[in-house]
Structure 1
Amino acid sequence: MNESTAAKRGDLRRQVLELRSAQRPLEVARKSQLICATLKQIPELQRARTIMAYAAIRQEADISEFWLRLRAEDKTVVLPRVKGKELEAVRFDGWDRTRPGPFGIREPEGEPFPPELIDAVLVPGVVFDHQGYRLGYGKGYYDRFLSALPAASFFCGIAFELQLVDEVYPTGRDVRMHALVTESRIIRC
């Protein structure tokens, strides 16, 4: 990646993080509930038996209401856990079986879950474009993890409308989402 692209991506990341962090907690909660309601409508998620979700941080959309309900429907929910420079999926068996990871994010304890059994991934991010590319926090964890999953896996980016831009200046390492869900719409990519 050249310096110009890296600078553009860094600027986008900073601008959107500032916008996202300026939201009031009640606004984040309201928008998160709308996203959860929309997620229920996506056929790929309805069909999925195993879904990887995430524990929200830093004013991210909190979709735990959605994925906690999936557990009640006998679906397997896995969450990411950082191991070195990689993510691994671990079955979520309750908040009492989690601990803070290296970035302060709640991570499940237990054995790694076989990634080839993951049908769908709900992917957080800092910035998304309408083509389905995303910028995270800049370490590449999700891109490395997603690129190793089976081709049939469904990737769904989760964001607020304020996190959408025309272009995130993707590189060859960036993994494209199949869909994006915001508080007001579903975007098929």
Structure 2
Amino acid sequence: MDLMDAETRAWRVRERVRLKDERMHLPSADRSLLTDAIARNLDVVFKRLRGTLGVYWPIQGEFDLRQWAERLRIRRRHTLALPVVVREQAPLEYCKWQPGDPMARGFWGIMVPKQGQPVIPDVVIAPLVGFCGFYRLGHGGGYFDRTLAAMRPKPLAIGVGTEASRIEGFVPQPHDIPMDVIVTEAAVYRA
């Protein structure tokens, strides 16, 4: 990964802290309403999509879309997969998953499928800490960007978050990979 200048790195750290704090302090009723609205907009995006869908196990106040993904799996016969850190500072591996599968704690304590059957997703959904245009501000580990850069063919990348997580002043770095679609509670933005 390219090294970014100290000012850019400091700005990203401050924005992550601010946005995660706001997200963590959302009242549960507001979180539920936002999650439902994001899920409705994802339904619009998935009207014509098929194949393996990479979702995420929510951490640090991320919107929990696992029930939505399960409904989609049943209704549309999508295969679901979760990202797994197999090696630090390396691309993620997606492993087949469905609710009820045996799980284990992985990197950062995130739940991952216990018997990881690797799959290549056609579509991946990534949580947004923040976003500017189609660029995603994530947790800062670079895993998602590394994964998209390495995957062939590149899956359709969908970032999910809220309008409140829109940021100004984001300076894309050479390693930042833009999303193809951004979904919020208010809209679907396509690149």
**What is the TM-score when the length of structure 2 is the normalising length?**
0.89
Q: Does residue 36 of the first structure (1) align with residue 77 of the second (2)?
A: no
Q: How does 1:55-134 map to 2 (within 5 A)?
A: 55-72=57-74, 73-85=76-88, 86=90, 87-115=92-120, 118-130=121-133, 132-134=134-136
Distance 1:112 1:141, change over 3 A: farther
Separation of aligned partners in 2, 1:167 and 1:97: 42
What stretches of structure 1 of length at least 5 have no aligned partner? none
Separation of aligned partners in 2, 1:104 and 1:34: 28
Q: How does 1:130-141 map to 2 (within 5 A)?
A: 130=133, 132-141=134-143
- The SS at the match of 1:174 is coil
- The percentage of counterpart residues that share the same residue type is 28
**What is the TM-score when the length of structure 1 is the normalising length?**
0.90
Q: Please say which of residues 83-92 and 149-158 is displaced more in the overlay.
A: 149-158
Separation of aligned partners in 1, 2:156 and 2:28: 30
What stretches of structure 2 of length at least 5 have no aligned partner? none
Contact 1:128 1:164 in 2 (8 A): yes
Equivalent pairs, count: 185
Separation of aligned partners in 1, 2:66 and 2:116: 21
Specify the alignment match of 1:186 in structure 2. 188
Deviation, structure 1 residue 102: 2.5
- The SS at the match of 2:107 is coil
Specify the alignment match of 2:146 in structure 1. 144
Q: Please say which of residues 145-154 and 84-93 is displaced more in the overlay.
A: 145-154
Specify the alignment match of 1:27 in structure 2. 30
Specify the alignment match of 2:54 in structure 1. 52
Specify the alignment match of 1:8 in structure 2. 11
CA RMSD of aligned residues (A): 1.7
- The SS at the match of 2:108 is coil
Q: Deviations over 1:71-123 (max 9, x none)?
A: 213211101112221321000033342122221222112234233xx211101
